[in-house]
Amino acid sequence: MGTKQTDIVIIGAGAAGATLAVLLGQVGFDVVLVDPYPPKSFKQTETTGRTVALIGSSVEILKAAGVWDKLEGLSCPMHTMKIIDVSKGDKEPVSIEFDAMDAGRDEFGYNIPNAPLRAALFERVQKLKNIQFREARFHDYRADEHGVTVRLDSGDEIRAQLLIGADGKNSAVREFAGIQTRNHDYGQTAITCIINHSKSHQNISTECHTPNGPTATVPMPGNQSSVVWVETHEKAEGLLHLKKHEFEQALQAQIHNLLGGLTLEKGPEGWPLDTVKARDIIAPRLALAAEAAHALPPITAQGLNLSLRDVATLAEILTDKARLGVDIGSQPVLNAYKKRRHLDIDTRVAGVDILNRFVANDVAAIKGARRAGLKTLDSIYPLKMLAMRVGLSPKIDESRLARGEAL
């Protein structure tokens, strides 16, 4: 079998890998995108029990990839974010609300169903003539001074200047490259589902902090919301095996009747949670992006937002360097990617990890500190504004695409 020549091989056509393929394909790179599980077509997809809350610049990046027109009607703007601490059952809950209008915006971002997001991106992939999709699994690669040869389990061999691993948190590319990870298992499972409810959600995304972990309701179009309910593995296992009406009752108790009467529309499904952080995001002729580089628990909805920032920065660096005639797989180019991404990745991973441990903590002193922290934040206006800006638009490594500019 002959060797296919291309500019870039991307392993993994999840939301991050497919976005990157589209951004690179649009500016003229030849790309081979590899995944054993291509998403269903947009028409065939139905909403599953999972959505992603995409904040601030992420929507700009999806617009740049040409998929926002398809997704906007299926997505719901989030005007307000509310955090409620209900950890002290005997005391009044403490809460804080952040309004997008206070930050001079109409909305913080949008809640987007996962399956249509992947399908819309994959349709863009198929429309771009210079992206070739291979339904296969990564097998191995060999890097040398002039390029990289990637082998797939189909027996195909591809020669490129650069290999990008966007193959998720158990990345085979990362493992083959010998890049170690730092892992933390929280002993928690996220239960996700979609519910119908009688009260309007008023475009408010609410995160209830309980001793076992957070429970979030995130608005969807109409009187529907997606739910992410974090519990210990043992408790989650029990909840996932309840009958439908029993689960509805348990969820109602968990969210304190927040949205009126509720019925289950989709799910529930369980997702074990951990943090996985690659010790490096580059190796000779290789860059890691998205969950292959960092996977986070869902508290404060950072995961894909962080990943899309990787993808936007990598697309910008590769485009700029190619325009200057520089070898896009060379070490200075890879170093530039690592240098621009490390602060954003390190601070987000550490921040989410600390927050997740802090929230899922039943020690009395920590519960008290958590409640006092929310009260302080709510009562000191500049502090609240600062928290909101940091959450909204991380200025660390802002790419042109994140600012709504062209590549």
Residues that bind ligand FAD (CB under 6 A): 11-17, 34-37, 52-54, 137-138, 166-168, 172, 190, 192, 228, 271, 290-291, 298, 301-305, 307
Smallest gap from residue 402 Cβ to ligand FAD (A): 14
Neighbours of 329 (CB within 10 A): 25
CB of 88 or CB of 235, closer to ligand FAD: 235
Residue nearest ligand FAD, CB atom distance: 14
Least CB distance from residue 388 to ligand FAD, whole Å?
A: 17
Give the pair of three-digit tokens for residue 63.
């617009």
How far apart are alpha carbons 361 and 188 in whole angstroms? 12
- Closest to ligand FAD by CB, 52 vs 374, is 52
Work out how close the CB of 109 gets to ligand FAD at its nearest, in angstroms, rounded to a whole number. Answer: 9
- Torsion angle of C-alpha atoms 153, 156, 161, 162, degrees rounded to 10: -20
The smaller minimum CB distance to ligand FAD, of residues 88 and 187, is found at 187
In whole angstroms, the minimum distance from the beta carbon of 248 to ligand FAD comes to 19
Q: Provide the minimum distance between the beta carbon of 290 and ligand FAD in the complex, in angstroms, as a whole number.
A: 3
210 versus 371: smaller Cβ distance to ligand FAD: 210
In the numeric block, which tokens belong to residue 4? 């296919």
172 vs 387, beta carbon nearer ligand FAD: 172
Residue 354 buriedness (CB in 10 A; 0-12 / 13-18 / 19+): exposed
Nearer to ligand FAD, 322 or 399 (CB): 399
Contacts of 86-89 with CB under 8 Å at 24 or more apart are: 86/208, 86/209, 86/210, 86/256, 87/209, 87/210, 87/211, 87/362, 87/367, 87/370, 87/371, 88/367, 88/371
Nearest distance, CB of residue 103 and ligand FAD, angstroms: 18
Minimum CB separation of residue 159 from ligand FAD in Å reads: 18
Nearest CA-CA partner of 240 in 270, 264, 271: 270
Nearer to ligand FAD, 56 or 367 (CB): 56
Complex with ligand FAD: residue 116 or 321, whichever CB lies closer? 116
Specify the DSSP class assigned to residue 291: G
Is the N-terminal amide bond of 298 cis, ω within 30° of 0?
A: no
- Say how far apart CA 321 and CA 184 lie, in whole Å: 36
Least Cβ distance, residue 239 to ligand FAD (angstroms): 14
Q: How far is the CB of 174 from ligand FAD (least distance, A)?
A: 10
Closer to ligand FAD at the Cβ: 133 or 271?
271
**Pick 94 or 304: Cβ nearer ligand FAD:** 304
Helix/strand/coil (H/E/C) assignment for every residue in 172-207:
HHHHHCCCCEEEEEEEEEEEEEEEEECCCCCCEEEE
Given a contact cutoff of 8 angstroms between Cβ atoms, the answer to whether 220 and 48 are in contact is no
Q: CB 78: neighbour CB atoms within 10 A? A: 22
Pairwise CA distance, residues 299 & 360, whole Å: 11
**What token pair was written down for 238?**
């029990």
> What is the residue type of 59?
V
Beta carbon of residue 168, minimum distance to ligand FAD (angstroms, whole number):
3
Kindly give, in sequence order, each residue whose CB lies less than 8 Å from that of residue 286, ignoring residues fewer than 6 positions away: 141, 143, 148, 162, 163, 164, 165, 173, 177, 334
